[in-house]
Homo-oligomer: A and B are copies of this chain.
């Protein structure tokens, strides 16, 4: 089965027994920045709450639509794949994915229905019983001496990986300015070589490493049409000065 057109619409972010409403709000903001909109709250201590709305910033809509349920089973009902986040995966005998891999698996499973990423309490995370209900356990690679990601920070990283797994990793853009053509670039090098030789900066019989280095520099930059024209202008000016000298 193919994955849906927007796999992120099939992702539930499940927060279990969150203590601080501010964290729920910050998690909503983190979700929406990555295009996730479906929050499920299992037995939150305080919700709805003004602090959640304050921290949600522009993402109050995610809070308004959040589903509040009594048990983790209710939150995961109907899911084709569920991922429990844990900072202490060494305690478990099962296989543990890095969150990047888990995000890819989750997006692949959207072909079969909803998927869920499950986050435990601020103090102690998910219990072993809660993790045992999940299809997979995922961890966010972290400093072993201080792996204490804030709840919303963990949601941010997971949501970011879900967005990339769903295909938005590519920030390539069409050039905004017209690039110089092959011929313009070759004409630039030919002119430059001539001028450098006239300046006696370059011995045309022994160009050595200079020209290849210049080529490499400009190739990395990707010369635009207007820039090629500016460089030709500079060379022409040098030519005039050299001409006057003679």
Which listed segment binds B: A150-158, A184-192, A201-209? A150-158
Q: Which residues of B contact A146 (CB under 8 A)?
A: 32-33, 58-59
How many A residues touch B, CB cutoff 8 Å?
46
Number of copies: 2
A136 to B232, CA, bound (A): 26
Tell me the minimal C-beta distance from A93 to chain B in angstroms: 5
Contact A89 B171 (CB under 8 A): yes
Q: Which residues of B contact A93 (CB under 8 A)?
A: 175-177, 224
Q: Which residues of B contact A157 (CB under 8 A)?
A: 156-157, 160
Q: Which residues of B contact A148 (CB under 8 A)?
A: 29, 33, 57-58
Which listed segment binds B: A10-18, A74-82, A94-102? A94-102
For A93, give the chain B residue with the smallest CB separation. B176
Known pairs A149-B156, A156-B149, A171-B97; A163 contacts B177 (CB<8 A): no
